[in-house]
């Protein structure tokens, strides 16, 4: 069984959004086109309460600076994907109706969550692993936004959990902040992810 995991194709990560990824909307139509090829389609949705601890505005800091959290280093982001806002909604052209499951992450105000599998403490699970196991899914193909953060963390965690993981680099787009794309691709390869 093979699932397509579509990461965070939301308005705030597309051009015009609060944390826009260049070309983020270019991948929507090709992602829709491959949905029928998979046994399951899963969407992840970044879903932050206002005032989230990963927001620069919560620390009177500049966006894209670093801070230390109890769970380790954390990029401070512009406010994005705030629950109930248009920015948190999926891109209007994404075929949301094809999804078997939508998993929301980042809703705990004290901790950020890049991975579809764990919060950034790397121990608090989202429940996605259990869902995949009970459905008998062994193979995952990941697409979406952004390659070097949420896609990367999700792919590495999935590989560590024993899934066969492929990232379709043509159907992802990166923030590429301070060398993050190269670090992410190197890390994914080391973890056994097929790019």
Exactly one of 46, 79, 105, 172 is catalytic; name it. 105
Exactly one of 12, 25, 148, 150 is catalytic; name it. 150
Annotation says 8 is catalytic: yes
Pick from 160, 91, 92, 90: nearest CA to 122: 160
Partners of residue 6 on adjacent β-strands: 43, 143
- CA–CA gap between residue 24 and residue 145 (Å, rounded): 7
Annotation says 172 is catalytic: no
Classify residue 58 as exposed, middle or buried by CB count within 10 Å of its CB (0-12, 13-18, 19+).
middle
Is the backbone peptide bond immediately before 146 cis, with ω within 30 degrees of 0?
yes
- CA–CA gap between residue 126 and residue 118 (Å, rounded): 6
Annotation says 92 is catalytic: no
Classify residue 66 as exposed, middle or buried by CB count within 10 Å of its CB (0-12, 13-18, 19+).
exposed
Pick from 25, 39, 2, 45: nearest CA to 172: 25
- Label the pairing between strands 101-105 and 40-46: parallel
Which of the residues are catalytic?
8, 105, 150
């Amino acid at each position: 069984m093979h699932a397509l995991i579509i990461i965070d194709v939301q308005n705030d990560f597309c051009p015009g959004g609060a944390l826009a990824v260049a070309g983020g909307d270019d991948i929507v139509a090709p992602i829709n086109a491959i949905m029928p090829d998979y046994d399951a389609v899963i969407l992840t949705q970044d879903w932050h309460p206002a005032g989230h601890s990963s927001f620069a505005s919560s620390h009177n800091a500049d966006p894209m600076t670093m801070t230390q959290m109890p769970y380790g280093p954390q990029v401070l982001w512009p406010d994005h994907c705030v629950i109930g806002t248009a920015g948190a909604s999926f891109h209007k052209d994404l075929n949301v109706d094809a999804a078997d499951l939508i998993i929301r992450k980042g809703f705990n105000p004290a901790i950020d969550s890049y991975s579809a599998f764990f919060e950034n403490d790397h121990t608090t699970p989202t429940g996605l692993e259990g869902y995949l196991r009970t459905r008998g899914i062994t193979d995952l193909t990941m697409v979406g936004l952004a390659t070097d953060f949420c896609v990367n963390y999700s792919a590495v965690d999935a590989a560590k959990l024993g899934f066969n993981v492929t990232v379709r680099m043509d159907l992802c787009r990166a923030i590429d902040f301070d060398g993050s794309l190269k670090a992410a691709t190197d890390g994914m390869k080391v973890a056994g992810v097929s790019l």
